[in-house]
Structure 1
């Protein structure tokens, strides 16, 4: 199933998606028809400038959502919270099919509405994500920051294309899970939801506001697609450290441009991003596969296990051995 739309402040995703699948929206709730799957989409409008759409369903076929670029640069900010531990297919180019994958596919994407994207949700998997749509001025008034770093200034400003990614913290995952369990028939449920969605924004912008101040580099759909491709190149083989000049050739960018855009989008250098992903994979293998410290270290390319232990302890505060022995 393919659903295509253009992101504008006036566009109502749920209404048009309901028409697309032949369903009916009742009290801002769309129940997925049984022949397509099960679950729901819920929309909450806190004002004309601030709303959230929550998706929770399992479909009987793949769902491809194509967001077409708008001619408006930054009249609407889209914040995408994807909290699944399933593979998410995401692309910023019509001729590429990229996976934003990993052991834990949870991610937060903040984008201006002039960038197009294609996201694929696989059939048979629980889809659980939320999209916050908010006007730049309204967001700026919510944040109430006296000084803005370059990232937050870009997001809340105008006339700039942007794409930022953040990993999802445990607090954010838990908050999203709790939001989906709220009984919307209770009298103060919408008030409660507004507070909690603002808390979501707080957790996100608490991290974004700590990013290094740098001059914002222009980004377009081609750049975005290449950055996702480079990110996948990095995490697909965590036993081998990335080589900048090789990645630059793959991305068809200069080394300087690749370094700048990658750090801008992901909030860290290419090598630091690789090392964090490496440690997260090590933690997964130690906990889930019950492999020994030596097996995990060698699998992730460490010839010196003492070095592996030091890096792991720096990241998690525990040695790999102590970490694996915890319940």
Structure 2
């Protein structure tokens, strides 16, 4: 099942998706028809330029959502929260091949609506994601930052193209879970949801506000596609450190441009991203309990286990042995 749309500011996903699957919308709620699967999509408006759409469903066939740019420049910000145990494929062309999230890694994407994207949601897997859409002036008013860094200036500015990724902290995951469980029959539910959605935005933009205040490099869909491919290359074999020269060749970018765009998009350097992914994989393997500390260290390319232990403890506050038994 492929649903394509053009990202104009007045586009209403719920209405057009309901027509596509021949379903009805009642009070902002679309219930997935039985022949397609089970679950629902809910939309809440907090004004003409601020809304949230909550997706919770399990489908009988893959769903591919293809967002095409309107060609009118950016006039809408979308904040995409994906919180699943399964990996998700996303691309900035028509053939999603790049993993957006790994295993149980939840992720947040903040993007302008002038970047095209394609996301594939796999069949027979519970899908839970949330999209907040807000116009730049409204976000700037909501944040009310007197001296924003370059990231917030770019996002709330006029006509900028951007893509930022953030990992999802436990606090954000819990908030998303609570949002999905709100009783919408409560007469104050809309008021409560608005407060919680603003809290969601706070958690995201608080992290973005802490990023380095560096000059912003313009990004387009082709750049975004290459960056996700580079990210996939980095995490495909965590026993080998990334080689910038080789990654730049893969991305068809200069080394300088690749380093600048990667840090801008993911909030850290290529090598730091690699090390973080290494530690997360180590934590996952240790929690499984099927590997010794030495086996995990060697599998991730550490010849010096003392160095592995020190690095792991720096990330998690416990050495690998204590972490595996905690």
**Cα contact 1:290–1:324 (8 A) shared by 2:** no
Q: How far apart in 2 are the matches of 1:202 and 1:72?
A: 28
**Cα contact 1:152–1:209 (8 A) shared by 2:** yes
Q: How far apart in 1 are the matches of 2:309 and 2:25?
A: 54
Name 2:38's counterpart in structure 1. Answer: 38
Structure 2 unaligned regions, length at least 5: none
Q: How far apart in 2 are the matches of 1:166 and 1:200?
A: 13
Cα deviation, residue 96, structure 1 = 5.5
Structure 1 residues 95 and 32 mapped into 2: Cα distance closer, same or farther (>3 Å)?
Answer: closer
What SS does the aligned partner of 1:79 have? strand
1:240-293 alpha-carbon deviations (Å, 9 max, x no partner): 100000000100100000000000000000000000010001001100243211
Name 1:81's counterpart in structure 2. Answer: 81
Q: How far apart in 2 are the matches of 1:304 and 1:177?
A: 40
Name 1:233's counterpart in structure 2. Answer: 233
Name 1:160's counterpart in structure 2. Answer: 160
Q: TM-score, normalization: structure 1?
A: 0.98
Cα deviation, residue 72, structure 1 = 2.7
Q: How far apart in 2 are the matches of 1:2 and 1:285?
A: 36
Q: How far apart in 1 are the matches of 2:293 and 2:97?
A: 35
**Cα contact 2:95–2:118 (8 A) shared by 1:** no
Name 1:16's counterpart in structure 2. Answer: 16
Q: How far apart in 2 are the matches of 1:79 and 1:279?
A: 27
CA RMSD in angstroms comes to 0.9
Higher deviation after alignment, 50-59 or 104-113:
104-113
Name 2:26's counterpart in structure 1. Answer: 26
Higher deviation after alignment, 115-124 or 71-80:
71-80
**Cα contact 2:96–2:118 (8 A) shared by 1:** no
What SS does the aligned partner of 1:47 have? coil
How does 1:77-156 map onto structure 2 within 5 Å? 77-95=77-95, 97-156=97-156
Q: How far apart in 2 are the matches of 1:289 and 1:75?
A: 49
Name 2:295's counterpart in structure 1. Answer: 295
What SS does the aligned partner of 2:78 have? strand
Structure 1 residues 290 and 126 mapped into 2: Cα distance closer, same or farther (>3 Å)?
Answer: same
What SS does the aligned partner of 2:45 have? strand
Name 1:324's counterpart in structure 2. Answer: 324
**Cα contact 1:102–1:235 (8 A) shared by 2:** no
1:128-151 alpha-carbon deviations (Å, 9 max, x no partner): 000000010100111111111000
Structure 1 unaligned regions, length at least 5: none
Q: How far apart in 1 are the matches of 2:184 and 2:298?
A: 50
**Cα contact 1:101–1:232 (8 A) shared by 2:** no
Q: How far apart in 2 are the matches of 1:184 and 1:162?
A: 34
Q: How far apart in 1 are the matches of 2:214 and 2:74?
A: 20
Number of aligned residues: 326
Structure 1 residues 2 and 105 mapped into 2: Cα distance closer, same or farther (>3 Å)?
Answer: farther
Higher deviation after alignment, 272-281 or 64-73:
64-73
Q: How far apart in 1 are the matches of 2:179 and 2:70?
A: 30
**Cα contact 1:79–1:133 (8 A) shared by 2:** yes
**Cα contact 1:84–1:105 (8 A) shared by 2:** yes
Q: TM-score, normalization: structure 2?
A: 0.98
Q: How far apart in 2 are the matches of 1:101 and 1:237?
A: 16
